Amino acid sequence: MIQHENTESKLFKQAFALSLFTIFYNIAEGIISMYFGYQDETLALFGFGVDSFIEVLSGIGIAIMILRIRKNPASTRSDFEKTALRITGFSFYFLSAGLLAGIVLNLISQHKPETTLWGVIISLISIAVMIWLMLAKKRIGKKLHSDPIIADANCTKVCVYMSLVLLASSLIYELTGFAYADVIGAAGLIYFSFTEGCEAFEKAKGKECGCGGHCGEE
């Protein structure tokens, strides 16, 4: 019994450590992506950076959730978690609107990025880190038999998808100079940002899986 409690406590500490790593990684990724997105005038990379900062809000909510379910696995979301989710949802909607406006302006002005090399580099790093986080969170969640932690791991798939969109658009532009690659990448980010916004509001209502269905995937 004591050994089981020690193992469970260790797993919860690991889950909390992963949530903190996610927060600090997203802060660093957001700063770097927005800086190079602005410098190189690439809308997709800049939007990706803004998304990373929004993920920080989500990550804080996840960290609080882990502390809560450690004390009481059967407990429901706190008011703080619900508020964080609603703020996250609105932030994703605003990001979607901002990216859409940026796409329209770029199309009208026929603007093209200086380079998308940093988009390629950052997206490759992000894909590797997010896949590692997803697998690590899922492993811990299954050992703890915790549906919320497993759901959080599955939601990390969306971050992988967004990184793949950035990688594809950045790589295409860097290799071919295709004028619309950056705005197409930004359009892909709009889809996933809107989906994440929807999921955040669904979770605030008490659902473990959002409208996009990503959280429930195994």
In a domain, 213, yes or no: no
In a domain, 137, yes or no: yes
User: Residue 205 — pLDDT band, cuts 50, 70, 90?
Assistant: confident
Per the structure block, which two tokens stand in for 151?
A: 């759901």
pTM score, two decimals? 0.85
In a domain, 212, yes or no: no
Q: Which domain holds residue 172?
A: 2-204
**Who contacts 87 (Cβ-Cβ below 8 Å, separation ≥6)?**
57
In a domain, 176, yes or no: yes
CA pair distance 187, 44, nearest whole angstrom = 8
- Look up residue 16 and give its amino acid: F
79-93, 159-173, 179-193: range with lowest mean pLDDT: 79-93
Environment class of 218 (CB within 10 Å of its CB; exposed 0-12, middle 13-18, buried 19+): exposed
List, for residues 62-71, the tens digit of each pLDDT value: 899 888 888 8
Over range 55-61, report the average pLDDT. Answer: 87
Asked if pLDDT for residue 211 goes beyond 60, the answer is: no
In a domain, 209, yes or no: no
In a domain, 217, yes or no: no
15-24, 32-41, 76-85, 131-140: range with lowest mean pLDDT: 76-85
Q: How many domains is the chain built from?
A: 1
In a domain, 218, yes or no: no
In a domain, 196, yes or no: yes
**Mean pLDDT across the chain:** 88
